[in-house]
Chain A
Amino acid sequence: MIEDIELETLINDVYEYYGFDFGSYSRASLKRRVTRVIQLDGFKHFHEFLSKVRSDPEYYKRMVDEITVNVTEMFRDPGFYAVVRNEILPLLGTKPFIRLWHAGCSTGEEVYSMAIMLKEAGLLHKSLIYATDINATVLETAKKGIFPLRMMKEYSENYRTAGGQEDFSNYYIANYGIAKFNEELAEKMVFSQHNLVSDTSFNEFDMILCRNVLIYFDNDLQKRVINLFDESLAVLGFLALGTKETIKYSIAPGKYKQLDKDKIWRKLK
Chain B
Amino acid sequence: MEETKIISGCKVVIIGGSAGSLNALMQILPELSKLNDFAIVIVLHRKSTDDQTLEDLIALKAKVTVKPVEDKVPLLPGFIYIVPSNYHLLFEKNETLSLDTSEKVNYSRPSIDVSFESAAEVYGETLVGILLSGSNTDGTAGLIRIQALGGTIVVQNPLAADMPFMPNHAIQKTVPDFILNNEELLKFITSINT
- Measured CB to CB, the residues of A under 8 A from B are 1, 4, 26-29, 31-33, 69, 71-72, 76-79, 158, 161, 212, 214-216, 218-219, 222, 242-246
Given contacts A1-B117, A244-B87, contact A29 B100 (CB under 8 A): yes
Contact check, B101 vs A246: say whether CB atoms are below 8 A apart: no
* Minimum CB distance partner of B120 in chain A: A1
Choice from A29, A158, A219, A222 contacting B102 with Cβ under 8 Å: A29
Q: Is B79 an interface residue (CB 8 A)?
A: no
Enumerate chain B residues within 8 angstroms of A28, measured Cβ to Cβ. Answer: 90-93, 98, 100, 118, 121-122
CA gap between A28 and B100 in the complex, in Å = 9
Q: Please give the distance in Å from B147's CB to the nearest CB on chain A.
A: 15
Contact check, B98 vs A246: say whether CB atoms are below 8 A apart: no
Total contacts A to B, CB within 8 angstroms?
72
Q: Is B70 an interface residue (CB 8 A)?
A: yes
Q: Indicate the size class of the contact surface on chain B.
A: 20 to 34
CA gap between A169 and B69 in the complex, in Å = 36
CA gap between A246 and B87 in the complex, in Å = 16
Per-residue 0/1 for B69-104: is the Cβ within 8 Å of any A Cβ (1 yes, 0 no)?
111100000000000101100111100001111110
Per-residue 0/1 for B102-135: is the Cβ within 8 Å of any A Cβ (1 yes, 0 no)?
1100000000001001100110000000000000
Task: List 6 A-B residue pairs with CB atoms under 8 Å apart, sorted by A's residue number.
Answer: A28-B118, A28-B122, A32-B90, A215-B71, A242-B71, A244-B84
Residues 38-52 (chain B) with a chain A CB within 8 angstroms: 49, 51
* Minimum CB distance partner of B87 in chain A: A244
Q: Please give the distance in Å from A36's CB to the nearest CB on chain B.
A: 8
Enumerate chain B residues within 8 angstroms of A158, measured Cβ to Cβ. Answer: 49
CA gap between A175 and B168 in the complex, in Å = 43
Enumerate chain B residues within 8 angstroms of A72, measured Cβ to Cβ. Answer: 101
Given contacts A26-B98, A29-B90, contact A1 B71 (CB under 8 A): no
Of listed B84, B100, B114, residue having the most chain A CB within 10 A: B100
Q: Please give the distance in Å from A87's CB to the nearest CB on chain B.
A: 18
Q: Please give the distance in Å from B78's CB to the nearest CB on chain A.
A: 22
Of listed B71, B93, B99, B121, residue having the most chain A CB within 10 A: B71
Going nearest first, the 6 A-B pairs with the smallest beta carbon separation are A28-B90, A69-B102, A215-B71, A215-B99, A212-B101, A244-B70
* Minimum CB distance partner of B114 in chain A: A32
Choice from B49, B92, B93, B99 contacting A161 with Cβ under 8 Å: B49
Contact check, A244 vs B69: say whether CB atoms are below 8 A apart: yes
Contact check, A26 vs B90: say whether CB atoms are below 8 A apart: yes
Choice from B100, B103, B121 contacting A215 with Cβ under 8 Å: B100
Enumerate chain A residues within 8 angstroms of B122, measured Cβ to Cβ. Answer: 28
CA gap between A151 and B92 in the complex, in Å = 32
Contact check, B102 vs A26: say whether CB atoms are below 8 A apart: no
Enumerate chain A residues within 8 angstroms of B101, measured Cβ to Cβ. Answer: 69, 71-72, 212, 215, 242
Given contacts A1-B121, A161-B49, contact A245 B102 (CB under 8 A): no
Contact check, B118 vs A26: say whether CB atoms are below 8 A apart: no
Q: Please give the distance in Å from A192's CB to the nearest CB on chain B.
A: 23
Given contacts A1-B117, A1-B121, A29-B98, contact A246 B92 (CB under 8 A): no
Enumerate chain A residues within 8 angstroms of B103, measured Cβ to Cβ. Answer: 71
Enumerate chain B residues within 8 angstroms of A77, measured Cβ to Cβ. Answer: 49, 51, 86
CA gap between A120 and B170 in the complex, in Å = 50
Given contacts A1-B117, A1-B121, A32-B90, contact A244 B102 (CB under 8 A): no
CA gap between A246 and B117 in the complex, in Å = 26
Enumerate chain B residues within 8 angstroms of A222, measured Cβ to Cβ. Answer: 72
* Minimum CB distance partner of A26 in chain B: B98
Enumerate chain A residues within 8 angstroms of B121, measured Cβ to Cβ. Answer: 1, 28, 31
Contact check, B51 vs A214: say whether CB atoms are below 8 A apart: no
Per-residue 0/1 for B26-39: is the Cβ within 8 Å of any A Cβ (1 yes, 0 no)?
00000000000000
Contact check, A214 vs B71: say whether CB atoms are below 8 A apart: yes
Choice from B49, B72, B118 contacting A219 with Cβ under 8 Å: B72
Residues 113-164 (chain B) with a chain A CB within 8 angstroms: 114, 117-118, 121-122
CA gap between A27 and B72 in the complex, in Å = 12
Enumerate chain B residues within 8 angstroms of A79, measured Cβ to Cβ. Answer: 51
* Minimum CB distance partner of A249 in chain B: B72
Enumerate chain B residues within 8 angstroms of A32, measured Cβ to Cβ. Answer: 90, 100, 102, 114, 118
